[in-house]
Amino acid sequence: MGFPLAPPALLGFIGIGVMSSEPTASSIFPRTDWAELGPTAEADAVRLDRLIRLYWTPLRIFLVASFPSLKDQADVLLQEFAEDKILKTGWLQRADRERGKFRDFLKISLRNFVLDRLSRAEVKRAPLSLDELEVDLPAAEETAEAFDLTWVRTVLAETLRRMEADCKDPAEEQPRRSQIWEMFRIRLLEPFFNDAPQVPYDQLIESFGLKSPTDASNMLLSAKRIFKAHLTRVIKEYAEHDAATAEEIRALEEFVAGLARKMP
């Protein structure tokens, strides 16, 4: 199936933004001058811009998994989706927490957006039958899983990136903060993600100058708490409320646990 790659001008960009001809280096939405829309809109735009940048990969994976023939146009479509849907006034408000998770809302929105584009293209060119369109859609569960798995990976990678930067920040007052990151890396990250052997406890005492098991345990516990604080912050940026954030953390944990059980 061939989806016509239309030039942006013909793709019906109808965002609320005031267009600016000057692209900004820091934004993936160079055509919108959010400053002219007032501080609230600007703050929302900055936040959304960051979210879209961060979750571009899971969105792209979901799009390609749902519509394999659109692989080559995925980035353009995502850009249009972001401009046309996400950055439209009220879109974020429609991601009502009572109506489901932000992640699910994003998936449904993207899927509907692409289907809409496909049907519009079909009306214009009439090259496809609905049967052909169906063939292009793999099992919804698989694509949703691929999206959610990449989402979890993205959330965790971002959490770890921030945790590391935080722990290595010399301005931070907590003593031994860089050691806390190192302990977390040696103790959890390397064994789980790089198949590294566990460093024996005796070696930890020597490496970190640990004075007692309380000292050692407090260091490891601090690391876990810093990780959790960053994880919560990363998720709260899209889940917004504390309850929704806690629920999302639980949902992500349950999702990967369920996926792990299914896999050999």
Partner 1 sequence: MSEFDSAGALLKSAPKSLAAFLAAGEERARLWRPEELGAIYRHQMSAPILMDLGGFDPATATRLRTLSAAQSLLLTSFLDLFLHPVPPIELLNLTKDFAKGNMEHPDSSLPHEITAVLYYVSIAAAYVRLDRKISQLGDAEFKRGLLWAKGQPWVEKPIQDLLDEALQKLAAGGPKA
Residues at the interface with partner 1 (CB under 8 A): 149, 152-154, 156-157, 160-161, 164, 178, 182, 185, 188-190, 192-194, 198, 200-202, 205, 210-218, 220-221, 224-225, 227-228, 252-253, 256-257, 259-260, 263
- Cα separation, 133 vs 117, in Å, equals 12
Cβ 183 to partner 1, closest distance in Å?
11
Measured distance CA(78)–CA(60) in Å, rounded: 7
- The C-alpha atoms of residue 252 and residue 244 are separated, in whole angstroms, by 12
Please work out, in degrees rounded to the nearest 5, the angle formed at the alpha carbon of residue 80 by the alpha carbons of 131 and 94.
90
C-beta of 37 vs 146, nearer to partner 1: 146
- Nearer Cβ to partner 1 (109/218): 218
**Min CB(132)–partner 1 separation in Å:** 33
What does the alpha-carbon distance between residue 36 and residue 51 come to, in Å, rounded to a whole number?
Answer: 21
Q: In DSSP terms, which residues pair with 19 in a beta bridge?
A: 32
Residue closer to partner 1, measured from CB, 119 or 174? 174
What is the closest distance, in whole angstroms, from the C-beta atom of residue 160 to partner 1 in the complex?
4
We find the least distance from the C-beta atom of residue 25 to partner 1, in angstroms, to be 21
To the nearest whole angstrom, how small is the minimum distance from the Cβ of residue 124 to partner 1?
38
Q: Which is nearer to partner 1, 32 or 154 (CB)?
A: 154
Whose Cβ is closer to partner 1: residue 124's or residue 225's?
Answer: 225
What Cα–Cα distance (Å) separates residue 3 from each residue in 65, 115, 132, 143?
15, 11, 12, 20
Nearest approach in angstroms of CB 200 to partner 1 is: 7
Minimum distance between the CB of residue 192 and partner 1, rounded to whole angstroms?
A: 4
- DSSP characters over 194-242: S-PPPPPHHHHHHHHT--SHHHHHHHHHHHHHHHHHHHHHHHHHHH-SH
Rounded Cα distance, 91 and 82, in Å: 10
Minimum distance from residue 145 beta carbon to partner 1 (Å): 9
Output 92 or 204, the one with its CB closest to partner 1: 204
Which residue, 175 or 200, has its beta carbon nearer to partner 1? 200
- At 250, list the tokens: 């639980």
Complex with partner 1: residue 31 or 162, whichever CB lies closer: 162
C-alpha 126/C-alpha 133 separation (Å) is 12
| Nearest alpha carbon to residue 181 among 214, 138, 226, 247 | 226
- 116-150 in b/e form (b: 16+ CB < 10 A) is ebbeebbeeeeebeeeebeeeeeeeeebbbbbbbb
